[in-house]
């Protein structure tokens, strides 16, 4: 039925349809500038340590995602604070997990030493965290089992 059709049961004109606003999760505003600009150069972290950190089985998948975001997504010195990321509104977060999930992931990363407050933060409230991939040197990696390694001899 179009806007000018009539209802076949009653013979009365059909009500006009008002266009629906798109759901905020289904739109991307490409005209607004991002709060934190995307860096144009790759991160300065050691690639091998970053790869080990992403495979560290001591970390949950959620914590690995937060670590990847903080390690690669910002210009040095312009990283957001924990408070800025925690208090993004639901519309700003879109599909990202909630505040409590983010806090838990940050706590996990801090407890293993992957995140630490920068030297200028004294209180720890609203702190800017610095990514440190040194704990990846002690990462717990999944071992190759049953001769399915990359080498023909099964090692």
Beta strands in the chain (DSSP E): 115-117, 129-131
Bridge partners of 6, per DSSP, are 13
CB-hemisphere CA count at 13 Å for 151?
A: 5
pTM equals 0.64
Interval 35-64: pLDDT, tens: 666 666 666 678 899 999 999 999 999 999
Phi first, then psi: what are they for 115, rounded to 5°? -125, 140
Q: What average pLDDT does the segment 75-84 reach?
A: 78
CA-CA distances (angstroms) from residue 73 to 45, 62, 125?
12, 16, 22
Q: At what angle do helices 99-112 and 61-72 cross, to 10 degrees?
A: 80
Interval 56-65: pLDDT, tens: 999 999 999 9
CB-hemisphere CA count at 13 Å for 20?
A: 4
Q: Where are the alpha helices (DSSP H) in 73-133?
A: 82-86, 90-93, 99-112
CA-CA distances (angstroms) from residue 86 to 52, 80, 91, 103, 104?
26, 10, 13, 7, 11
Return d(Cα 94, Cα 77) in angstroms, integer: 25
Return d(Cα 115, Cα 112) in angstroms, integer: 8
- Residue 19, pLDDT > 60, answer no
Contact between residue 114 and residue 32 where contact means Cβ atoms under 8 Å apart: no
Structure tokens at 116: 């630490």
């Amino acid at each position: 039925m179009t806007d000018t059709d009539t209802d076949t049961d009653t013979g009365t004109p059909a009500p006009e349809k008002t266009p629906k606003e798109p759901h905020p999760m289904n739109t991307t505003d490409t005209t607004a500038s991002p709060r934190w600009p995307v860096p144009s150069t790759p991160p300065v972290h050691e690639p091998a340590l970053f790869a080990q950190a992403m495979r560290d089985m001591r970390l949950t998948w959620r914590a690995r995602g937060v670590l990847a975001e903080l390690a690669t997504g910002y210009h040095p010195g312009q990283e957001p604070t924990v408070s800025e990321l925690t208090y993004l509104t639901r519309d700003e977060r879109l599909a990202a997990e909630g505040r409590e999930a983010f806090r838990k992931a940050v706590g996990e990363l801090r407890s293993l030493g992957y995140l630490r407050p920068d030297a200028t933060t004294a209180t720890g409230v609203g702190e800017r965290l610095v990514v440190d991939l040194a704990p990846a040197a002690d990462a717990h990696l999944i071992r190759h089992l049953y001769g399915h390694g990359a080498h023909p001899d099964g090692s």
